[in-house]
Structure 1
Amino acid sequence: MATVTASLHLQPLSSSLSSPPPPSPSSRPLYLKFQTSHRENLRYLSSLGVIPQNPKLAPPVENLPAVLSAVNFLKSKGISDEDFPRLVYLCPQLFSPAFSISETNPVFDFLAGELGASAAESRGLIVNCPGLLLSDVEYCLRPTLVYLKELGVKNLKRGSKMNAHVLNTRVEKLRAKVRFLKSIGFGHVEAARVCVRVPAIFGYSVEDNLRPKFEFMVYDMERELVELKEFPQYFGFSLGKRIKPRHWHLKKMGVRVSLSRMLMWGDQKFYSKWKP
């Protein structure tokens, strides 16, 4: 106790009478500095749409470094502020503390190197299909790219939704579409040509989409395979909303036109051309 009293008596009298100077930033309590930083981080991440604006729904304090690391990494790769809400919605794993964002480096290297995509094109592919970042380059992306090139599909680096999802499709699923086309009478070269002209075909289910359309064309529309070879875009139209209604309308009118003329026209032009 005597030691404490002595230390107090060492201070000049003036210091006890005047107001103490404000503490320097370095001498402020650390917990205040941490709380301010935490609030700023929450505000920043919520402004990007990475975390909810409601503080009660914010992730635990210990998870924020991983989230911030993911955001900074993706921004360094060309991801824009406005892209984050979509990335979080479609691929929340990217911002999980259990996931190391650096694991996506091989995908970025693949897009830039093997695919030849620019930073803007890579961004377009990733934003359209964030799952690309979780794909394995060796077992998924590279074999798929090789197979698509063998078929003759080009411009895959363009950042479209279709390209992004096709690149993120396993080779076996792509081959299934080619096998289906060959099973209904297309040669291999012809099937490859269809895939080049209508790459969206890779995203369609054989049993739920392609086969019902083919069977309706053959059995209900009574059309030949040669018409499908001339207009493979037929597979890209909705069976229930476009193909069937227009076919039955033309049949009722006693009119028969090519598949392209039947399907390519807009509703106004089509139904005004063949009025009941």
Structure 2
Amino acid sequence: MAAILPLYPYNPLLYFSTPSSFRSQFWILERRRLGSASLKNLVKLAAHSNPRILKSNRKSKYGEALLFYDSDEEMDDDVSDDDEDDDWLSDEEFSEPANLDVNNNKRFKSKTTKGKDRQQEWEWGLRSFDNKQSIRLPRSERVASLQRNESGKHSRNVKDKKYPRLSEEIPLDVKWLPLLDYLSTFGMKESHFVQMYERRMQSLQINVCSAQERLEYLLSVGVKQSDVRRILLRQPQILEYTVENNLKSRVAFLRGLGIPNSRIGQIIAAAPSLFSYSVENSLKPTVRYLIEEVGIKEKDLGKVIQLSPQILVQRIDISWNTRSMFLTKELGAPRDSIVKMVTKHPQLLHYSIDDGLLPRINFLRSIGMKNSDIVKVLTSLTQVLSLSLEENLKPKYLYLVNELNNEVQSLTKYPMYLSLSLDQRIRPRHRFLVSLKKAPKGPFPLGSLVPTDECFCQQWAGTSLDRYLAFRQRLLLKKFAEKYERKM
């Protein structure tokens, strides 16, 4: 064994990578065979401690410069001090505290060199398998380093396995995984995370604990869990808003408008962007404009916002001015009628003039209504402006004149007719009274369509509610079968 050792340059990493039990047995056997003095010479020869023998530019197979000492005496001192100790290469030497050099590498100090002011340092090298750079660590931290490397690889594998599409489409950071896992509990998919990233990349960098605190607060004020996904897709910044400085102040603002707690969650779900508006500089000025300029009564303000939460986050001055001017010019509508329209149906301020308001006004004109009649209908039932022309208004008008034998003027008295369901309300009640032979021969009374099903059966049909509901069910099934046959 002694003859073999001098053939290879000494490398601490190669030596200390062998099992500790083998090292101990080796040195015990060599000490008994050679004696203490011979063993000392063997160590000196194997380590090439003499700088005159070792070339300064020689490197180990791991790329590390081979260290040497200033003189033979230095090595003698270091070895002879522990010469009689059988455990001089125990693990305890590697568990002592180490200083950090300028590169944050750990190193161990040997005894002070005789006759010199500086200290000789012993460095044991370990190559990092990730960055191929030499890291000087005690053995107790080498395993931890390798474990961190393996942990990083494991995290990357988990990232690619759990979110393969997301990893391909965006530069996914493994630090985002806890947040993504939490948001997935609200039904968020990879495609949703891509949308969030495109709208607001920073929203995916939020600490999961902070995000959980904010979403739990929203749930506590009435937001439904099923609405969280829609809120995050529309307003991912909401994850960045703090509870104390942002969320609570906006909720308090809504409550101050007279909005009941039971409706707070619905308003947030409908207009989550309100959290990005300043209470003092934006939300309150909008409310003042609705009261002072539009003319909405303060007692009606809460109802208006419940009907259309978006009214808080739009340029209300532009919306109001353009639509009020249009209705005044197109129909001659007085201001108080327009205010009533907005109070009953504030969504009016969101509708397009060319694609929404004007086509429906022209339809009412086409069936024989005058501008004054249209103003009456819109003031009483402003949501007519939200109904589909082809699937709602036109079929109801045709049924009115062809089946119910009514004139168009009857709509000014019963504008609610236009808001009722043709399949669920108008046709079943008409056909039921006809089947009972209780329908009048002249124009069908539109008043019979207004009350509830129970009142209709008592006042108009004179029969039980169950009988009417069974009749309506058969009629609906027949209608469905006819539509299915037409599609086939």
Q: TM-score range by the shorter chain?
A: 0.5 to 0.7
Counterpart-to-counterpart distance in 1, 2:238 and 2:462: 63
Distance 1:45 1:89, change over 3 A: closer
Cα RMSD, aligned residues only: 4.1
Fraction of identical pairs, as percent:
22
Instruction: Select the residue among 267, 277, 288 that pairs with 1:100.
Output: 277
Counterpart-to-counterpart distance in 1, 2:414 and 2:215: 54
Counterpart-to-counterpart distance in 2, 1:61 and 1:185: 50
The within-5 A match list for 1:1-276 is 47-49=220-222, 63-65=240-242, 68-69=245-246, 71-73=248-250, 75-76=252-253, 78-79=256-257, 82=261, 83-95=263-275, 99-101=276-278, 102-147=281-326, 150-152=332-334, 154=337, 156=339, 162-172=344-354, 173-252=356-435, 253=437, 255-256=440-441, 258-265=444-451, 266-268=455-457, 269-272=459-462
Distance 1:261 1:157, change over 3 A: closer
Secondary structure of the corresponding residue to residue 241 of structure 1: helix
Give per-residue Cα distances to partners, 1:46-91, cap 9 Å, x unaligned: 5334697xxxxx9999813388425414634624571431222212
Counterpart-to-counterpart distance in 1, 2:410 and 2:239: 62
Which one-letter code corresponds to 1:236 in the other structure? Answer: S
Q: 1:15 maps to what in 2?
A: none
Is this contact kept in 1: 2:396–2:422, CA < 8 A? yes
Secondary structure of the corresponding residue to residue 225 of structure 1: coil
Is this contact kept in 1: 2:384–2:418, CA < 8 A? yes
Displacement after TM superposition at 1:41 (Å): 7.5
Give per-residue Cα distances to partners, 1:189-243, cap 9 Å, x unaligned: 2222222233232232222211110012223334333444443332122211111
Name the stretch that deviates more: 211-220 or 39-48: 39-48
Counterpart-to-counterpart distance in 2, 1:273 and 1:38: 57
Secondary structure of the corresponding residue to residue 72 of structure 1: helix
Q: Who wins on radius of gyration, i.e. which is larger? A: 2
Gaps of 5+ in 1: 1-36, 53-57
Q: 2:44 maps to what in 1?
A: none
Q: TM-score, normalized by length of structure 1?
A: 0.65
- Larger helix proportion of the pair: 1
Displacement after TM superposition at 1:114 (Å): 1.1
Distance 1:68 1:177, change over 3 A: farther
Is this contact kept in 2: 1:141–1:168, CA < 8 A? no
Larger relative CO (CA 8 A, sep 6+): 1 or 2?
Answer: 1
Q: 1:28 maps to what in 2?
A: none
Counterpart-to-counterpart distance in 2, 1:158 and 1:209: 21
Counterpart-to-counterpart distance in 2, 1:81 and 1:230: 34
Which one-letter code corresponds to 2:376 in the other structure? Answer: R
Distance 1:48 1:183, change over 3 A: same
Is this contact kept in 2: 1:145–1:167, CA < 8 A? no
Displacement after TM superposition at 1:156 (Å): 3.7
Distance 1:76 1:125, change over 3 A: same
Gaps of 5+ in 2: 1-209, 226-231, 469-488
Aligned length: 232
Secondary structure of the corresponding residue to residue 255 of structure 1: coil
Is this contact kept in 2: 1:125–1:164, CA < 8 A? yes
Which one-letter code corresponds to 1:131 in the other structure? Answer: Q
Which one-letter code corresponds to 1:64 in the other structure? Answer: Y
Distance 1:93 1:185, change over 3 A: same
Which one-letter code corresponds to 1:89 in the other structure? Answer: A
Secondary structure of the corresponding residue to residue 337 of structure 2: coil
Is this contact kept in 2: 1:87–1:130, CA < 8 A? yes
Counterpart-to-counterpart distance in 2, 1:212 and 1:249: 20
Displacement after TM superposition at 1:138 (Å): 4.0
